[in-house]
Structure 1
């Protein structure tokens, strides 16, 4: 993922949290909002509710890798935040990928293709 494709500013996060929409699945919650740019910016978040720092970092790595392998990806023009749920602890990447795909599909950000390559 390129540096410009990562959601970083607190103002952008607050905009997605306050004015965006959300869609939940078993392991993740997807928050999204149109950004009127030619690219989609992504962020992966795991709160302290998920566990200690080791568990939170693993949750973020699982989400990041699942998104990287996802095909198709959401179209351009969105800010998307993936928030890990506590249920993500101890899950396999395939399960997390299916959960993320289902949430994105339910939000209408991607079509009905296969989530895994």
Structure 2
């Protein structure tokens, strides 16, 4: 009987330790979700704001128009090359940022789905 009581006490301590670990894990998960929601609601991607993204988009349009305009003007080859290179670099940056936004959004959705399932 003493051995059974000792086993029960040991299992109760183990269960309590596991429960505290589980609650700590949930607390960390909820903190991460809140941070992602705040980031998402603020409309920022890291240190970039919506206005920054709009400037990047407008710049890409301007560079594209400059390149198309200079194609028909002799002697503008260096400027066309520069505009094309900068446009390509800017598009690369924008695609990387959009990829990070999508990953953050998917991560937040997965956390929300998991929380709803639990």
Place the TM-score, normalised by the shorter chain, in its bin. Answer: under 0.3
Q: Which structure has the greater CA radius of gyration?
A: 2
Structure richer in strand, relative to its length: 1
Higher helix content, 1 or 2 = 2
Relative to the length of structure 1, the TM-score reads 0.25
Which structure ranks higher in relative contact order (CA pairs < 8 Å, sequence separation ≥ 6)?
1
